[in-house]
Structure 1
């Protein structure tokens, strides 16, 4: 979710009656009140809510919401239909003030902590800060807690379009960053044995993420599998040259050279 304060025509929410509502987007879009999942409704209504959730406490123009719901072919009654969807969302949420109306659109008034994506980002930030301070156990705990919040791809039950698609891509990138950060923490604490299989699986899905390649090479090398570690580099170099037309970056090349030289300290530094 986008961070920052309230913008647009809506006054700041008092927070009354909101704390029992939780919005979850790290998987299928769900809304819960007092631990009970609420029925959001049909796909068009879910797209309206998803778009509002991408811009919490901000005014979202009605034109943008119409585009998110109907794309390039909205019906003549799109504005009226949008009003109906907002009406039903307000009823479902149990608090009409949660979706405010403005002169040009609507806005979801929600405390950031009620949105799982916001909490995820806070945990990732905290984990990365702890890692930089050398608090590796704490870093692992925070990063793992954030990653455990995912229930599938973000907004996985929606056909991607507009703001929801952009936000899903952004959150997926942050998830990969969090995984790489946790990998680094576990490599620094000597937990390479349990990492190899997971790293190779991740690498098969994301073969051009060079930080991930370096981590896989490091885990293999520390597991006594130097030949396999070097083979990973060669495969990556060939794939980059054939499909992208570039060479591996300096950090990954340094890991390769350190493994060739058997320099454990340099291998660790190359992944830092």
Structure 2
């Protein structure tokens, strides 16, 4: 029996090719937090806090049990032709809470974190080709912002924020590896889009400036800096960091070498 759980985008949980995601939001929240903790017990307190926050109804435990029953009904329908397994074999009751008994690697977020860790190790090893390849594989698992279609409570909000921040970090590292491999021409479109989506993130602007400069577009590289500076001054009241200003000066004065990719990071 194949179970596939995807949280890196809209929530998808398929059992034998059949979706078991409820139509109602609160049971979907419950399923999402169980999925992100696959193979581990999630306490009743954690679940009620996720669904109702600090003001649960008096019937919170009974209502939670009703949601569990709904999830098990969906599971039983998906398992009808699977031979032997029942919903209680997968969504298990424990003394303190509930456990989703699936392999952790059935969850895309867990596969992503394994690939992310391997990619970051390749970065530490200065293996740019392996870093680019592994981080790109990790990033391909994403279909949109984490849990994009759910109204999320405090627990899922923390997880979604952590995953989304890790994605941005891995994207930066993958592009950096590609720059060091001399792939600046191929990155121009992607970096232009990222700078529009994240106009005050220095890392993407720096990479865009470098890619433009190495592509023979000095004036556009300087313009990218001016856009970043204008955004930061207007919205944050601060100047770009010394690192970015130093890079700008090196490009402005033509002191940046285009021959050595690594030299771009030592200005």
Answer whether TM exceeds 0.5 for this pair.
Answer: yes
Report the Cα distance in structure 2 between the residues aligned to 1:269 and 1:60, rounded to whole angstroms.
Answer: 49
Q: Structure 2: which 5+ residue stretches go unaligned?
A: 76-85
Structure 1: give runs of 5+ residues left out of the alignment: 1-16
* Whole-angstrom CA distance in 2 between matches of 1:195 and 1:156: 27
Deviates more, 1:149-158 or 1:107-116: 107-116
SS for the counterpart of 2:5 is strand
Work out which of the residue numbers 28, 33, 40 in structure 2 matches 1:51: 33
User: Over aligned residues, Cα RMSD in angstroms?
Assistant: 2.4
Give how far 1:57 is off. 4.0
Residue 111 of structure 1, CA deviation:
2.9
Query: What SS does the corresponding residue of 1:22 show, helix, strand or coil?
Result: strand
- 2-structure distance, mates of 1:65, 1:134: 42
Give yes or no for the alignment of 1:179 onto 2:160. no
Structure 2 residue 13 is the aligned partner of structure 1 residue 31:
yes
What is the distance in 1 between the residues matched to 2:18 and 2:140? 19
Mapped partners of 2:261, 2:222: distance in 1: 12
Query: Contact between 2:181 and 2:261, CA under 8 Å: does it hold in 1?
Result: no
Offset at residue 225 of structure 1 (A): 1.2
**2:257 aligned to which of 235, 244, 264:** 264
Aligned partners of 1:258 and 1:264 also within 8 Å: no
Which of 137, 153, 156 is 1:145 aligned to? 137
Partner residue, 2:239: 247
Distance in 1 (CA, whole Å) between partners of 2:257 and 2:152 is: 45
Residue equivalent to 1:205: 197
Q: Larger deviation: 259-268 or 177-186?
A: 259-268
Distance in 2 between residues matched to 1:166 and 1:21, nearest whole Å: 25
Please state how far the C-alpha of 1:268 moved relative to its aligned partner: 4.0
| Deviation digits for residues 51-85 of structure 1 (CA, Å, limit 9, x no counterpart) | 22343444433233223324466444332121121
Residue 57 of structure 2 corresponds to residue 64 of structure 1: no
State whether residues 210 and 252 of structure 1, in contact with CA within 8 Å, keep that contact through their aligned partners in structure 2: yes
Per-residue Cα deviation, 1:223-253 (whole angstroms, up to 9, x for no partner): 1111111122122223223322333223322
- 8 A contact 2:26–2:51 mirrored in 1: yes
Which of these residues, 206, 209, 218, is aligned with residue 217 of structure 1? 209
SS in 1 for 2:239: coil
Question: How far does residue 256 in structure 1 lie from its aligned partner after superposition?
Answer: 1.5
Which string of whole-angstrom CA distances, capped at 9 and with x for unpartnered residues, describes residues 146-204 of structure 1? Answer: 11111121111101322112211111111111111111111111111121121111111
Q: TM-score, normalised by structure 1?
A: 0.82
Shift of 1:132: 3.0
Q: Matched residue of 1:193: which SS?
A: helix
Aligned 1:61-100 pairs, distance under 5 A: 61-71=43-53, 74-93=56-75, 94-100=86-92
* In 2: Cα distance, 1:95 partner to 1:134 partner: 47
Aligned length: 253
Give the 3-state SS of the residue equivalent to 2:114 in structure 1.
Answer: helix
Corresponding position: 1:156 with 2:148? yes
The correspondence for 2:104, drawn from 112, 116, 129, is: 112
Q: Which residue of 2 aligns with 1:170?
A: 162
